[in-house]
Amino acid sequence: MFLAQDGNIIIYGGSTLNSGKVTTVFSDIAVLNTNSWEFIKFFTYLGATSASNLYTNNIYILNIHNYTWVATFNVPTTTIPPKQPPSTWNSSTDQANNNYTYLYIGIGIGAGVIILIAVLFIIGFFIYKNRHKEEFIMTSGTSRNDHIRETHMSMIYTSGIPPSETYVQTPLYGVPMPGNN
């Protein structure tokens, strides 16, 4: 039994047993159409030349186009061209294309690194600026550039000790703060 190229299943032969011994071997051929699931039975006398007693005999070839036994089979000779060794040289066009490809890859990597550095620099700048934020308070009697700087400082609380009411920083330029004389 085997599957043909057209999808049909071809079944060959069969036998009868008598007391566990093969008494008769059949050379019938049956074809199962896998599309309609119908058996089409071909007997050896319907145009096929019967092979001699096939039981414990040689291998025979069945031509499935016309269901005849092939008496002789000539193996078609095909010449396989020898493999060409891989060339170690490239044409100038191939080398130029490779050079441009490498150039584009290099430009892409370089641009990506520059963009990454710029983005990291901008992020770092904003983080630095937000951590070191200072507020400038103008007081009366000072010029525009001569002012007291007030910096925001984080407070540390200790358990059991309440935080004081006011936190006053000494002016940087020796200008006394009101109410702190």
Question: Which spans in the chain are helix H?
Answer: 92-131
131 or 133, which is more confident:
131
Task: Please state whether beta strands 29-33 and 38-42 pair in parallel, antiparallel, or not at all (unpaired).
Answer: antiparallel
Amino acid at 9: I
Q: Is the pTM of this model over 0.85?
A: no
Structure token digits, residue 49: 């030349």
Structure token digits, residue 86: 């891989």
Say which residues have a Cβ less than 8 Å from residue 64's Cβ, sequence separation at least 6: 4, 5, 10
* pLDDT (tens digit per residue) in 89-129: 555 666 667 778 888 999 999 999 999 999 999 999 999 88
> pLDDT averaged over the chain?
70
Q: What are phi and psi of 93, to 5 degrees?
A: -65, -45
Of the pLDDT bands very low, low, confident and very high (cuts 50, 70, 90), residue 46 is very low
Q: How far apart are CA 85 and CA 95, in angstroms?
A: 19
> What's the pLDDT at 117?
97
For the segment 138-145, the average pLDDT, to the nearest whole number, is 56
> What's the pLDDT at 118?
97
- Tell whether the torsion through CA atoms of 115, 117, 120 and 125 is positive or negative: negative
pLDDT higher than 90, residue 158: no
> What's the pLDDT at 152?
47
